[in-house]
């Protein structure tokens, strides 16, 4: 994904729209239950744990750990130029919050399970697409 | 055993059903025939194989029940094409994987809604298009072009089930030390068995070195870890067990079926990144039978991607959790003369993506003793189909269970 940003094909639902807009102020938000306080992802119409309807987006630190990943060598979608890394990142607030994303800001061969990462956002039309990069990369 | 029982006999209800007939259409990379044309070929073959006529068929069941490259043909199309007169018809994609159409047919027969149900699965993916945004989704359709669960993967270029399965495969390798050389045994075993299958797509010999040298698709999965899209239709007739003595071919019994979907119904949010829904699905099958994994003579386990077969091997209990890599390494344990003969007609990696129904057809042939590579004394076959959250299985026996 070096030659320009890929087409992101974001198709937000009423429940998920906040997720794709959250990065406008530089912060990642995840849906959270106002009653049992558990984090919910992907966002839904009710808390899946206590079934409360008192739910809404709340900011998270935007840091987490790579749970697993793949290096794509095939061009599945025109504009997504391989190789690129698709990963599942588990957030620090709750590792059961598992986010699909791309790992950027490092060589693809440096990505590994357990790697510490932090969010950054890529503007794509009206959306701010959450991506992740190694935390060490920011310090360097 | 748990689950519903016949009030008088105490038997699981699926034992009221048998598979009385089975057939496949021509299978090819690109046949340029319509889905319903292939379906009629398979259906008429299965009806004849069962010793029946179309007038005897009083039920139709299919997965997923819509046309196009993924759907193949609708149940109503076959209904109309053969001018059937039905007491029951069912089609749907929200089942326990592609074998859900067989589960439904068994239930209809057990409930007395129908006596002879024609079940089919038609794929039309060789002549149809590949995965793409706005196209059909892996294992169920509706992947893109909707604001459903795939909206969290498509924006990242994870547009194929290959990308999602690759993530599970990598975590399995990380946690258990599974290697690509071990994983490659699935593809090499399938290719060797495909050589005896006249309908297989790829039959030229493949070595583990060939496997390790081929290009990567979505690491750690390479080209030979991904099945081959094709055109083809498979049909079976599910009948009441009372028909078994009149059926010209040896009846295949339904000993147990597995349908459980106890975890999150998601390709990306399943709690265990080293397993998938088949973990629960297979467990639910064993809860319905007095047979054990030690009784299984052959296994036909889904290989839409090679790693899914590892997950099925572990889920069925042929080895312990995380032990599938060493279990299959070198292929001796899964060869036709090994303790667990696996995918004896080549599986989907080499014989074509018939969406679990190639596996089902081969199970029937093994239990009849008419398979191209026969397993001597084969009396119990485990069939598991699907991946991700869409998995289902069957335990089949020689003769009614
Ligand atoms: Zn709650």
First-to-last C-alpha distance (Å) of chain A: 22
State the CB neighbour count (10 A cutoff) for residue A114. Answer: 9
Cβ separation B145–A129 shorter than 8 A: no
B63 CA to middle of ligand 1, Å?
Answer: 36
pLDDT of residue B133: 37
Select the residue of B155, B215, B268 nearest A98 (Cβ to Cβ).
B268
pLDDT at B136: 37
Percent of chain B past pLDDT 90, that is, above it, reads 88
ipTM: 0.95
The Cα of B128 is separated from the nearest Cα of chain A by a number of Å equal to 16
Q: Which residues of B touch A100 (CB under 8 A)?
A: 152-153, 156, 158, 268
Task: Please check whether residue B264 is in contact with residue A48, taking contact to mean a CB–CB distance below 8 angstroms.
Answer: no
A16/B147 CB distance under 8 A: yes
Confidence check: pLDDT of B138 > 60 = no
CA distance B348 to B252: 22
Conformational region of residue B110, where left means phi above 0, alpha means psi within -120 to 50, and beta covers everything else: alpha
Half-sphere exposure of B294 (CA within 13 A, CB side): 1
Tens of pLDDT along chain A (140 residues) come to 445 789 898 988 889 999 999 999 999 999 999 999 999 999 999 999 999 999 999 999 999 999 999 999 999 988 999 999 999 999 999 999 999 999 999 999 999 999 999 999 999 999 999 999 999 755 54
Q: For residue A119, give Cα distances in angstroms to A19, A28, A103, A127, A130.
A: 13, 7, 9, 15, 6
Residue A12 DSSP one-character state: -
Q: Which fold has domain B13-129+229-246?
A: Peroxisomal Thiolase; Chain A, domain 1 (3.40.47)
Confidence (pTM): 0.95
Cβ of B151 within 8 Å of Cβ of A11? The answer is yes
From residue B191, alpha-carbon distances to B81, B87, B195, B335 in Å are 36, 42, 7, 11
Per the CB < 8 Å rule, is A16 touching B151?
yes
Among A10, A73, A101, whose Cβ lies nearest the Cβ of B218?
A73
Choice among B123-127, B213-217, B259-263, B387-391 with the minimum mean pLDDT: B123-127
Domain ranges, ordered by start, for chain B: 13-129+229-246
Distance, in Å, from the CA atom of B312 to the CA atom of B297, rounded to the nearest integer, reads 16
Q: Give the bridge partners for A66, in sequence order.
A: A89
pLDDT of residue B1: 60
Alpha helices in chain A (DSSP H): 17-21, 135-139
Q: Work out the angle at residue A53's Cα, subtended by the Cα atoms of residues A51 and A55, and round it to the nearest 5 degrees.
A: 105
Helix (H, G, I), strand (E, B) or coil at B52: coil
B313 at A interface, C-beta within 8 A: no
């Amino acid at each position: 994904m070096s030659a320009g940003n890929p087409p992101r094909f974001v198709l937000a639902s009423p429940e998920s729209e906040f997720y794709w807009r959250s990065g406008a102020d530089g912060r990642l938000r995840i849906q959270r239950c106002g009653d049992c306080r558990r984090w919910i992802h992907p966002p839904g119409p009710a808390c899946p744990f206590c079934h409360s309807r008192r739910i809404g987006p709340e900011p998270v630190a935007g840091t987490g750990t790579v749970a697993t990943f793949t290096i794509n060598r095939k061009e599945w979608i025109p504009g997504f130029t391989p190789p690129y890394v698709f990963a599942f990142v588990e957030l620090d607030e709750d590792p059961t919050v598992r986010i699909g994303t791309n790992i950027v800001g490092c060589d693809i061969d440096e990505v590994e399970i357990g790697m510490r990462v932090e969010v950054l956002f890529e503007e794509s039309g009206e959306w701010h697409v959450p991506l992740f990069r190694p935390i060490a990369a920011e310090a360097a | 055993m748990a689950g519903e029982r016949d009030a008088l006999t105490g038997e699981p209800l699926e034992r009221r059903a048998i598979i009385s007939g089975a057939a496949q259409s021509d299978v090819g990379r690109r046949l340029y025939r319509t889905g319903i044309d292939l379906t009629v070929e398979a259906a008429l073959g299965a009806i004849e194989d069962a010793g029946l006529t179309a007038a005897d068929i009083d039920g139709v069941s299919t997965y997923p029940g819509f046309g196009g490259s993924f759907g193949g043909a609708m149940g109503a199309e076959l209904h109309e094409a053969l001018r059937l007169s039905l007491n029951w018809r069912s089609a749907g994609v929200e089942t326990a994987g592609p074998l859900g159409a067989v589960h439904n047919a068994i239930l209809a027969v057990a409930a007395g809604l129908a006596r002879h149900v024609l079940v089919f699965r038609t794929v039309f993916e060789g002549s149809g298009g590949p995965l793409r945004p706005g196209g059909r989704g892996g294992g169920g359709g509706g992947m893109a072009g909707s604001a459903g669960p795939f909206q969290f993967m498509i924006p990242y270029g994870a547009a194929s089930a290959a990308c999602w399965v690759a993530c599970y495969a990598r975590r399995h390798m990380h946690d258990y030390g599974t290697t690509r050389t071990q994983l490659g045994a699935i593809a090499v075993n399938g290719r060797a068995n495909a050589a005896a299958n006249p309908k297989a797509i790829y039959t030229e010999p493949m070595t583990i070195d060939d496997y390790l040298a081929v290009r990567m698709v979505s690491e750690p999965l390479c080209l030979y870890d991904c099945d081959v899209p094709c055109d083809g239709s498979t049909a079976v007739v599910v009948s009441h067990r009372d028909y078994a003595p009149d059926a010209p071919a040896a009846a295949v019994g339904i000993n147990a079926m597995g349908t459980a979907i106890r975890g999150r119904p998601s390709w990306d949010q399943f709690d265990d990144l080293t397993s998938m829904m088949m973990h629960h699905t297979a467990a639910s099958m064993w809860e319905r039978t007095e047979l054990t994994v030690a009784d299984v003579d052959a296994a036909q386990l889904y290989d839409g991607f090679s790693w899914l077969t590892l997950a099925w091997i572990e889920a069925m209990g042929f080895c312990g959790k995380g032990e599938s890599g060493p279990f299959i390494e070198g292929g001796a344990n899964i060869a036709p003369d090994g303790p667990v003969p696996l995918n004896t007609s080549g599986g989907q990696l080499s014989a074509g993506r018939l969406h679990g129904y190639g596996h089902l057809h081969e199970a029937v042939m093994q239990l009849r003793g008419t398979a191209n590579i026969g397993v001597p004394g084969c009396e119990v076959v485990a069939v598991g189909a699907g991946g991700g959250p869409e998995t289902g299985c069957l335990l089949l026996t020689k003769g009614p269970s």
